[in-house]
Amino acid sequence: LEALGLWGSHGRILPQRLTPPFASFPSPPGVGFATRQMAGLTKPTTIIEVAGDKVTVKTQSTFKNTEISFKLGEEFDETTADDRHVKVRSVVTLDGGKLVHVQKWEGKETSLVRELKDGKLILTLTMGSVVSTRTYEKAT
């Protein structure tokens, strides 16, 4: 996690901009229209903490707060931010300085890739052929 060490155990990152089609990102089964719309409108704060071999990613907004903890490369069950009513198996790896988070459920797959570019944290979400990004700036 050297590349993400900049955001370290107390790194707080605030959103700067959102690119389409984030609000129209494909809806997994069990996720309602209102939840999708709210997710597209939120401006969450992301906190990435590292303690030994455990990584914790906290996402906080006026809509909802979530937290996942994991060890790189180890699969875990995840309750997603959109409260999918299905079992989601996830794994997070470090690939070329990028934190790659893959969620799998019912034959479907979503990836969330976090990487540093020009001092900003870029979150790229991909489901099928739909790709969307959120750009975060480091909080002061």
> The CATH number of the domain where 120 resides is what?
2.40.128.20
Choice between 40 and 122, residue whose per-residue pLDDT is larger: 122
Beta partners for residue 127, in sequence order: 130
Beta strands in 1-140 (DSSP E): 12-18, 45-51, 54-60, 65-71, 76-78, 88-95, 98-105, 108-117, 120-127, 130-138
Count of domains observed in the chain: 1
How far apart (Å, rounded) are the C-alpha atoms in residues 39 and 88? 19
Using the structure block, give the residue that is written with the tokens 């969450």.
44
Beta partners for residue 77, in sequence order: 89
**In the structure encoding, which two tokens stand for residue 52, read together?**
């030994």
Render pLDDT for 74-124 as a digit per residue (tens, 0 to 9).
Answer: 999 998 877 666 789 999 999 998 999 999 998 999 999 999 888 888 889
Can you give the residue range of the structural domain that contains 16?
A: 5-138
Please state the pTM of the whole predicted model: 0.75
